[in-house]
Amino acid sequence: MFGGMYYTGLEFLNPGRLVLFGIGLLLVYMAIKKEWEPYELLPLGVGIMLANFPLTYMMSTTGQLGILYILYHYGIIWIVLPTLIFVGLGAMTDFGPLIADPKLMILGVAAQIGIYTSFLGAIALGFTPAEAASIGIIGGADGPTTIFITTRLAPHILGVTAVAAYTYIGMVPFIQPPISRLLTTKEERKIRMKQMRKVSKTEKMLFPILTAVVVILLVPQAGTIVGLFMFGNLLRESGVVPRLAKAASNELTNLVTMFLAFAVGASLTADVLSVKVVLVFLLGLAAVAVGSAGGVLVAKLMNLFLKDKINPLIGAAGVSAVPAAARVAQREALNADPHNHILMYAMAPNVAGVIGSATAAGAFLGMLGGF
């Protein structure tokens, strides 16, 4: 109602809103029909659509604050939701394979090359260093870390980077196989790896503590996400708080993921559409692709010096799309040899990639003053 006149939303529709409705519907379709990361893409798509309905004031910042703005401002800008999600992620993570074969952490580090190459590419295309860091971190295929760093450095592109990150997490099964096949021979994909040793409970409990201490001392700006991630893992591995571990990995993760994706989707409104949005998606895709290739190539390089060879397919799992990237490696190995099961080996660089992308985020924040 304006000046005694009643308006419907139809009068205020514009091409930008219609484009974003289409994007929201596409994400919902991908979540329901394709089952690509449905827990993230479904609320993300609905949040985009709701925020772009005219005259609803769900993202209103004046007078009575809109419900979507409240979720976005107090949940995202105050970084409550992006950090809480790491407790749940830690509670769901098994570091056993990485502890059993620590050298596989090198592959998780190697796969982060996509982050840095995309960072440099974004700067070359005219993005600010803060924007470039937020775009580059998409290469980790890690939605929560992307949201965390973008909130601190470039909140004006949060919706775009988050949508790109979760889209590419869902597309990992399509992005990685052609890269892995191109860079490996069938004989390499058939490599059977040495049986992993049994990891003790003491080792599993010490790992999150020692990792948190080392990473936070070296990269203090990563302390928030690494600290909460390792806290969640300690809940799991200690065995003395099963209810807390269960709540963190189920109820907490489900609720936080829902509201996090919903609020991030709401930040993608028509006024952010530009040519740069397309560039963000292209750079994000390049980051994931380069990171996957980097992991495979470093695995092949390591094989030149190792007696017990590594199946290079697990190198692509170094991007931290857990467990999607590890499952892709497993599928490719089975295609080459139906009896070659490498999932547990692939989980080692996969979880190392989570630590790697979180550390990269902390390094960017330290360099660019995100705190």
What pLDDT digit, counting tens, does each position of 42-94 carry?
Answer: 999 999 999 888 877 777 777 678 888 888 889 888 889 999 999 999 999 99
What pLDDT digit, counting tens, does each position of 327-342 carry?
Answer: 999 999 999 999 999 9
* Whole-model pTM over 0.85: yes
User: What is the per-residue pLDDT for 2?
Assistant: 52
- Rounded distance, CA 260 to CA 257, Å? 5
**How remote is the C-alpha of 198 from its chain's centroid?**
29
Angle between helices 275-303 and 158-183 (to 10 degrees): 40
Residue 3 has pLDDT above 60, yes or no: no
When divided into structural domains, the chain yields a total of 1
Q: What is the mean pLDDT of the chain?
A: 91
- Compute the average pLDDT of residues 132-150: 91
- Where residue 101 falls (left for φ over 0; alpha for ψ -120 to 50; beta otherwise) is beta
User: What is the per-residue pLDDT for 4?
Assistant: 55
Is 269 inside any structural domain? Answer: yes
Q: Which residue blocks in the chain are alpha helix, DSSP H?
A: 15-32, 38-51, 67-70, 80-92, 96-100, 105-110, 113-124, 129-136, 143-153, 158-183, 186-189, 201-218, 223-238, 242-247, 253-266, 275-303, 324-336, 343-368
For Cα atoms 158, 215, 311, give the angle at the middle one, nearest 5 degrees. 85
Is 55 inside any structural domain? Answer: no
User: What is the per-residue pLDDT for 322?
Assistant: 87
Residue with tokens 């995100």: 370
Is 287 inside any structural domain? Answer: yes
- Rounded distance, CA 302 to CA 305, Å? 6
Is 94 inside any structural domain? Answer: yes
Residue 22: which pLDDT band, with cuts at 50, 70 and 90?
A: very high
Is 301 inside any structural domain? Answer: yes
Is 58 inside any structural domain? Answer: no
Residue 33: which pLDDT band, with cuts at 50, 70 and 90?
A: very high
Domain of 133 in residue numbering reads as: 83-368
User: What is the per-residue pLDDT for 238?
Assistant: 96
Residue 117 has pLDDT above 70, yes or no: yes
What pLDDT digit, counting tens, does each position of 291-321 carry?
Answer: 999 999 999 999 999 999 999 999 999 998 8
| SS3 category, 5 | strand
Is 11 inside any structural domain? Answer: no
- Compute the average pLDDT of residues 276-302: 94
What pLDDT digit, counting tens, does each position of 167-187 carry?
Answer: 888 889 999 999 999 999 999
Is 27 inside any structural domain? Answer: no
* Nearby residues of 363 by Cβ (< 8 Å), 6 or more positions away: 219, 221, 222
Percent of the chain with pLDDT over 90: 72
Residue 105 has pLDDT above 90, yes or no: yes
